[in-house]
Amino acid sequence: MTTAANGSLGIGMIGLGLISWVHEEGYNKLGDACHIVAVCDKDAEMATNRAALHDAVPATDYRTVLEDPRVDVVDITLPHRLHHEVALAAFDAGKHVIVEKPMAVGAPAAHEMIEVSKAAGLTLAVAENTRYVAAYRAAGNLLEQDSLGEIRMVRSLIAGSEVERIRDPDTWHGKAPDGGVILDSAVHSLYLYKWLFGGILDVTAHASKLVPEGEMEDNALLLGRLAGGGEYQLAVSATMEIPWTERLEIYGSDASLIVDQLADPVVTLFRGGDDAGPSTVDGVAYEPQQWKFTSMFEELSDFVCGIREGRPPLVDPEDTLHALEAAEAAYRSVEIGGVVELTDRPQPREEREER
């Protein structure tokens, strides 16, 4: 590893856009723990302008970044179809990798990325901010305490608008093979189901395309059974004119929990029926415009600190692989118009914790 003498990790940014802006700000917030040394994008002017903000070296070819001995970590925010190629090249160059979700287009490619990173002894982190959302952590704590009882139903929603980018012929959003809203958004909830409920056993999916300029689905509904018991209903939309938001409803035999990023309070707990009043779950701030960015900053902090401390990040790439496999099963369900079972069934939550 080529970490500088002061222990500061050298970051190489590959791919520029909205997400990379957030990542750059996140790295800057970490002070001396890391510093951006190289910035790469096919648009030379953009690469030059962004590099100047960090006193970094601009590039238009990602291989230039991988050849830079000052680069310890590669941050990949490219279109989904390019994740696999660039990540494998980074591992071959001895670099740690953080890659945006989904890890790749296709589970075999994602599996190869995991195996190659392990063989090289390098960190593969998937930028799955769901694990770092304060409201979901609060939900996880309540589930670990068995505060809700037997889980009967889980419902989730991810919604916002990508209409402008879907209509833009120069962006990859909503276009093949990078995927539509299932591959780009539903994987967040599918990862959440893996983390909190052991994953999914099967899926029945319906998808539609409301924006005619798009090539892929921009709305979808997924239904099925959870590995830990109970059922799920997952809705995603890229056509809702609303600040990007997420909602999670967990209905148990003893209590129910509602998470809504546009509501204040964000997390409420209901015990019993008959119009029982809610109680507020403390420790989750109401930040309708900031919650997602806050979780992404924490994600990057965990990644950088993990490398410096010699530990893996909280997000297990295997869990994001399950989310990708579940998304692929959803696409198969849309094609055949019926139920698709996941062939490699995940273990229920309690069985995984006993290992």
pLDDT score recorded for residue 228: 94
Read off φ and ψ for residue 60, nearest 5 degrees: -115, -5
Mark whether 247 and 157 lie in a shared domain.
yes
Mark whether 266 and 142 lie in a shared domain.
yes
Task: Go through the chain and tell me how many residues it has.
Answer: 355
Rounded to two decimals, what is the model's pTM? 0.93
pLDDT score recorded for residue 173: 87
Mark whether 111 and 142 lie in a shared domain.
no
Cβ within 8 Å of residue 336, ≥6 positions away? none
Mark whether 195 and 275 lie in a shared domain.
yes
- DSSP SS3 for 247: strand
pLDDT score recorded for residue 107: 96
Could you tell me the pLDDT band of residue 350, with boundaries at 50, 70 and 90?
very low
**Directed axis angle between helix 107-120 and helix 317-336, to 10°?**
170
- DSSP SS3 for 126: strand
Q: Which domain holds residue 61?
A: 9-127
Domain stops at, among 80, 100, 127: 127
pLDDT score recorded for residue 218: 98
pLDDT score recorded for residue 348: 47
Work out how many domains the chain is built from and give that number: 2
Beta strands in 53-190 (DSSP E): 57-59, 73-76, 96-100, 124-127, 151-159
pLDDT score recorded for residue 343: 79
Domain stops at, among 127, 148, 169: 127
Task: Name 271's bridge partners.
Answer: 255
Q: Which two tokens stand for residue 126?
A: 């998937």
pLDDT digit string (tens) for 133-186? Answer: 999 999 999 999 999 999 999 999 999 999 999 999 988 888 899 989 999 999
**Residue 3 included in any domain:** no
CATH number (domain holding residue 344):
3.30.360.10
Task: Name 251's bridge partners.
Answer: 153, 256
Mark whether 157 and 257 lie in a shared domain.
yes
CATH number (domain holding residue 118):
3.40.50.720
pLDDT digit string (tens) for 273-318? Answer: 666 678 888 889 999 999 999 999 999 999 999 999 999 999 999 9
Mark whether 277 and 152 lie in a shared domain.
yes
pLDDT digit string (tens) for 101-121? Answer: 999 999 999 999 999 999 999
